[in-house]
Amino acid sequence: MNIPNEEDWLNWPAGADRPLDLDEDYARRRFAESPFEEALELFETTNVLSCCEDVSYMPPVPFRYYMLVFKAYVLAVVEKVGSDKWSSPDAASCFLNLVERKLKTEFDWIAPS
């Protein structure tokens, strides 16, 4: 999967003429054009709740890409559960809640037809 480009961020839902809302703009500034490893490092060095919120405000293409990063982060944290017993439940809970919310509101973002 390719790193989402500027068009992927701006061409949703009404095109590039649509102004970004503040949350979406913040997520874009934090994550845009970040390769997988860079984005994974962001999850590792910042609060997972903050990263989860950012991902939740992304358009479909960036959302799908950075959810794969989020999944990798959750799996890595679960493997290290002995070293930080608090990160694992927070990461897993945030991830699963976001998946559940998108399945209810934007099903095709999770399971494209």
| Contact (Cβ atoms closer than 8 angstroms) between residue 29 and residue 80 | no
Residues of the chain with pLDDT under 50: none
pLDDT of residue 71: 95
pLDDT of residue 89: 77
pLDDT of residue 32: 92
Model confidence, pTM: 0.85
Buried b / exposed e along 22-32 (16+ C-beta atoms within 10 A) = eebeebbebbb
Q: Give me the phi and psi of 84, to 5 degrees please.
A: -150, 90
pLDDT of residue 110: 83
pLDDT of residue 87: 58
DSSP letter string, 82-94: TT-TTHHHHHHHH
pLDDT of residue 7: 87
